[in-house]
Amino acid sequence: MTQSPARLLAQFDPTEHPHRRRNLLNGDWVLVSPHRTKRPWQGQVERPPQDNLPTHDPKCYLCPGNERMGGHINPAYDSTFVFTNDFAALLTDSPSHDISRGHFFQAEAETGTCRVICFSPRHDLTLAQMDVPDIRRVVDVWAEQVVELGSRPDIGYVQLFENRGAMMGSSNPHPHGQVWANRRVPTEPALEEREQRLYFERTNRPLLIDYLEAELDAGERVVLESREWVVVVPYWAVWPFETLVLPRTPVLDMPGLSDPQRDDLAGILKQLLVRYDNLFETSFPYSMGWHGQPTDGGRYPHWQLHAHFYPPLLRSATVRKFMVGYELLATPQRDITAEQAVERLRQQSGVHYLLDK
């Protein structure tokens, strides 16, 4: 006798049984294998980051007054500082003609610019350790960069991001992020634009507004809530403690945030990053980035501003998640469920572990 779908669903335990979850934002799938957390680990162990950094490092090319690798001298800045990357991945004067060589060798010239944002003159700080008013200044700089670069006719998308920690490829511990501004919309934002547009065409509602409402109703994956913002571990999370930062009301991009939203964002970022650090009592590595609407002149009423945090740590400050083998050749896979991850983050103190000792 065939069992009903309801009976089969009742027999399914998402904390024990492998299953797939669909990413609403890009259409991809992730394999969830919660039973694998029981396996022993004899793989690579990372070296914990150094905590006792000086407030100013005379050898750091991002500190105030120091010489950068390209020969420029940094000003004696006392807040944030933005400059064009001395080794930019995008150039404004690249050739713009078609460079494809037939059907099998397609290529397009790409132009743009890359900038570095120093969050603080203090070499020894991270966003998690900065004061909320100083984080608010970073939020303003993010918005300013989108306005300035996005207004240029040769820029179709402005990507704000931060690689935190050597584990995520950061070449310097000084608190900083980056801005890459492209002529064309990059791959991930383009996929998110497609999924948000298709949903909007069916419902006349922004996808992420309805998704957030569903997450708040479920309550299972909400890490933090404030007046203007919500942090969730997304249902489809790939990285162990991945989070999605969402405004409660429709906002197309960073410049569209009101003063209360910016104030509140600085506060909830502080809360989230302190909990990350407290999880394994280490300066938590991650890659994070903001996805706002493209700046190519199109209309995007379906878009909703949001930030992704992708931290690699899995079991401790020294054991990370590796995206290899099956993840590279087939489908991304995770061991702990999103629901298990959010419980770990909720349990963390709102006081930074270095201040709590």
Identify whether residues 199 and 298 lie together within a single domain: yes
Identify whether residues 209 and 243 lie together within a single domain: yes
Among 149, 182, 215, the domain-final residue is 182
Among 162, 182, 202, the domain-final residue is 182
Indicate the SS3 state at residue 263.
Answer: helix
Distance CA 141, CA 226 (A): 22
Mean pLDDT, residues 309-333: 92
Among 119, 153, 182, the domain-final residue is 182
Task: Kindly state whether residue 210 falls inside one of the protein's structural domains.
Answer: yes
Residue with tokens 């572990």: 353
CB-hemisphere CA count at 13 Å for 150? 22
Question: Can you name the residues that pair with 164 across neighbouring β-strands?
Answer: 286
Range of the domain at 177: 81-182
Task: Kindly state whether residue 1 falls inside one of the protein's structural domains.
Answer: no
Identify whether residues 218 and 313 lie together within a single domain: yes
List helix spans (H) across the chain: 5-11, 132-150, 187-203, 207-218, 259-280, 326-329, 338-346
pLDDT in tens, 252-287: 999 999 999 999 999 999 999 999 999 999 999 999
Task: Kindly state whether residue 178 falls inside one of the protein's structural domains.
Answer: yes
Identify whether residues 286 and 176 lie together within a single domain: no
Task: Kindly state whether residue 60 falls inside one of the protein's structural domains.
Answer: no
Lowest mean pLDDT among 38-42, 134-138, 314-318: 38-42
Residues 6+ apart with CB under 8 A from 259: none
The closest of 61, 86, 58 to 74, measured between CA atoms, is 61
Identify whether residues 132 and 277 lie together within a single domain: no
Angle separating helix axes 259-280 and 338-346, nearest 10 degrees: 90
Identify whether residues 202 and 257 lie together within a single domain: yes
Which of 174, 176, 302, 306 is flagged as catalytic? 176
Identify whether residues 211 and 154 lie together within a single domain: no
Identify whether residues 215 and 304 lie together within a single domain: yes
Indicate the SS3 state at residue 67.
Answer: strand
Distance CA 339, CA 6 (A): 22
CATH number for the domain harbouring residue 144: 3.30.428.10
- Higher per-residue pLDDT: 337 or 4: 337
Distance CA 2, CA 237 (A): 33
Task: Kindly state whether residue 356 falls inside one of the protein's structural domains.
Answer: no
Task: Kindly state whether residue 12 falls inside one of the protein's structural domains.
Answer: no
pLDDT in tens, 198-248: 999 999 999 999 999 999 999 999 999 999 999 999 999 999 999 999 999
What confidence score (pLDDT) does residue 26 get? 96
Identify whether residues 212 and 324 lie together within a single domain: yes
Mean pLDDT, residues 9-28: 82
Angle separating helix axes 187-203 and 207-218, nearest 10 degrees: 80
Helices (H) and strands (E) in the chain, counts: 7, 12
Task: Kindly state whether residue 107 falls inside one of the protein's structural domains.
Answer: yes
pLDDT band at 1 (very low <50, low <70, confident <90, very high): very low
Left if phi > 0, otherwise alpha if psi is -120 to 50, otherwise beta: which for 88? beta
Task: Kindly state whether residue 355 falls inside one of the protein's structural domains.
Answer: no
Identify whether residues 252 and 341 lie together within a single domain: yes
What confidence score (pLDDT) does residue 162 get? 98
Number of domains the chain contains = 2
Identify whether residues 290 and 208 lie together within a single domain: yes
Distance CA 323, CA 238 (A): 10
Please indicate whether residue 103 is annotated as part of the active site: no
Left if phi > 0, otherwise alpha if psi is -120 to 50, otherwise beta: which for 269? alpha
